[in-house]
A and B are shown apart, each in its own frame.
Chain A
């Protein structure tokens, strides 16, 4: 009996103890502006999240070296969401409590869709790396992309299928999670519009071991081309299996399929794969950035590194335009804004945001030629 009683207090004490030590609105130096990064540093999204964060840190180093934003140095704290939506929501809350001016992240759409509610409620602008369509379709005035959402990216492929490849029948292989679903849904709509028949619709599980069935189905379907919308490892496994089964049709992806990582992982099987890429690390404009990144972290970045980098620069430029640290004004200014790379070098490319926070920007068609991603054309932003 006595034991139980003691336990109540034990539990209670533990709680209150924690409450006592909990960092509440971590006081930061007066001369700095707080831009926390809430992103996936562990769990399934660790790679994307880490690149996003490091890209941002790279930009911050440069900006702080050049005197910061309106004379204030940028201070960035990392919050690891473990790629878990609920944790990300909690940490978004924490980041905002700590007095964030703008929040960077998250990259995984499943998390962003949760934590953007918090940022919106608190009226804090949020620069996300997510590409799922629904992010910018919730009428949230504080969310901004750092790359075109799938609903912009995937459609830019339609003319390629329709005119370049003259496809009548097409197959789609997608990973059955929020990322894959987003791309898949847009794709199906697009194909309907373009009058291309989807003859095989093949979802796969995250971390799936055997892609024989997926490839076999596509092979049987008699599709003339296949749209591959998977995570990087799955891309690699799919490509290997496709090569093994001798799937000859053009394999076209969005963003990941021709990434260097996939090329390395697929052991030559990626040869000849196409992809539409918003931020092709192989594109000449990014050459300089990619080098800086490697020097800083001695590893190669993916497109998420670029996202984080331009995200920070966008914050700098927009804030300097409005001339003060005003969240509301910041969000207002950014809607319908265009930043020309000539005038704002940090953006690297001409970039605009519409009034949903969606991003518009020139993008690239790429192909894998002898083990390297090569830009074979640019797609203008419509």
Chain B
């Protein structure tokens, strides 16, 4: 029992980070039809910005985190849009897929070249106490992960539904042409989505790195999980991405504990295929929203 609880709780904590990556992924897809194959690297990189600030500039952690966030938003949000995505329009098809794939190699190799190939320890954002829930150990970090990602979903949903900007972003996502006519500055709205995505990626990076460590190749695993979470949950739903993330996190652990360890990686993939074929709009998603 305690074992079951243990793996479920840990799965939730890990899954919540997949969710953060997946949410940005979903937003980008909705508002800019950009499927970002470099999303994993987007989660890998910000941790290194922080490490640079810590070890090269010798800043305190809080300042380093802010620096990391800011740099991420500029590099992975602004530059990504201006330098890679924007010039490619209207070819948001195969060329963009290829470009983002190339970008992921670029970021990976770049990081390795300029910070080194070795995994780096990343300072914990929280004291490392663990408390025990019915015999299951839960670290403060786990709780932080969960609460943050939940908070993000609530905040984002409120932002998108309650604020004018939010509604404009949604309008842009649903029908750019009409939004334009209604006087929405669609270009800017799209830019906002890119910035939000970068910020979310940075957040995910800061949350996962204390446990997962900072390494140039982290994106390979994280990226796949982000895709799967986004699609399983529902490509046109923010809370869908959350559900997807948590689901993948938990299922992965449950498979490993009770079914098979050597095929643990297979389950999320099978789930992905099944969902795409039987519910292309995801478990939580609704059939309207973007045609795929």
Q: Do chains A and B touch in the complex (CB under 8 A)?
A: yes
The reply to whether A50 and B117 form a contact with Cβ atoms under 8 Å apart is yes
CB distance from B223 to the nearest CB of A (A): 11
A32 at interface by CB-CB < 8 Å: no
Chain A residues within an 8 Å CB radius of B264: 205, 213
CB distance from B214 to the nearest CB of A (A): 10
B41 at interface by CB-CB < 8 Å: no
Name A187-241 residues within 8 Å CB distance of B.
202-205, 207-210, 212-214, 216-217, 219-220, 232-233, 236-237, 240-241
CB distance from B179 to the nearest CB of A (A): 38
Name B1-56 residues within 8 Å CB distance of A.
3, 6-7, 9-11, 14
A42 at interface by CB-CB < 8 Å: yes
A245 at interface by CB-CB < 8 Å: yes
Q: In the bound complex, how far is the Cα of B265 from the Cα of A213, in angstroms?
A: 13
CB distance from B49 to the nearest CB of A (A): 20
**Stretch from B76-84, B187-195, B251-259 contacting the other chain:** B251-259
The reply to whether B215 and A210 form a contact with Cβ atoms under 8 Å apart is no
A337 at interface by CB-CB < 8 Å: no
The reply to whether A267 and B212 form a contact with Cβ atoms under 8 Å apart is no
Contact of B7 among A44, A208, A216, A240 (CB under 8 A): A216
Chain B residues within an 8 Å CB radius of A267: 121, 124, 128
**A contacts with B: majority SS:** helix
Chain A residues within an 8 Å CB radius of B137: 244-246
The reply to whether A207 and B261 form a contact with Cβ atoms under 8 Å apart is no
Number of chain B interface residues as a range:
35 or more
Q: In the bound complex, how far is the Cα of B208 from the Cα of A207, in angstroms?
A: 13
Q: In the bound complex, how far is the Cα of B124 from the Cα of A204, in angstroms?
A: 24
Contact of A265 among B121, B124, B249 (CB under 8 A): B121
The reply to whether B3 and A44 form a contact with Cβ atoms under 8 Å apart is no
Tally A-B pairs: CB < 8 A: 89
B211 at interface by CB-CB < 8 Å: yes
**Please, how many residues of chain A have a CB less than 8 angstroms from a CB on the other chain?**
34
Chain B residues within an 8 Å CB radius of A176: 262
**Which one of B9, B10, B124, B249 has the highest number of Cβ atoms from chain A below 10 Å of its Cβ?**
B10
A12 at interface by CB-CB < 8 Å: no
A261 at interface by CB-CB < 8 Å: yes
Contact of B253 among A212, A236, A240 (CB under 8 A): A212
Contact of B261 among A202, A210, A237, A261 (CB under 8 A): A202
A46 at interface by CB-CB < 8 Å: yes
The reply to whether B213 and A244 form a contact with Cβ atoms under 8 Å apart is no
Chain A residues within an 8 Å CB radius of B172: none
The reply to whether B130 and A214 form a contact with Cβ atoms under 8 Å apart is no
Residue of A nearest to B14 (CB): A210
The reply to whether A210 and B118 form a contact with Cβ atoms under 8 Å apart is no
A264 at interface by CB-CB < 8 Å: yes
A14 at interface by CB-CB < 8 Å: no
B118-133 contact mask (Cβ, 8 Å, vs A): 1 or 0: 1101001000101000
30 A–B pairs (Cβ distance < 8 Å), ordered by A: A47-B117, A50-B117, A202-B261, A203-B261, A203-B262, A204-B261, A207-B220, A209-B221, A209-B225, A210-B10, A210-B11, A210-B14, A210-B253, A212-B6, A212-B9, A212-B11, A212-B14, A213-B252, A213-B254, A213-B261, A232-B119, A240-B211, A241-B10, A244-B130, A246-B130, A246-B137, A264-B121, A265-B213, A267-B121, A267-B128
Interface pairs A-B: 8 shortest CB-CB: A212-B10, A46-B117, A213-B256, A210-B14, A233-B119, A207-B221, A213-B257, A213-B253
Give chain A's interface residues, CB within 8 Å of chain B.
42, 44, 46-47, 50, 176, 202-205, 207-210, 212-214, 216-217, 219-220, 232-233, 236-237, 240-241, 244-246, 261, 264-265, 267
A-B contact sample (11 more), CB < 8 A, given A213-B252, A213-B257, A261-B118: A203-B261, A210-B10, A210-B252, A212-B9, A213-B253, A213-B261, A216-B257, A233-B119, A233-B215, A237-B212, A261-B119
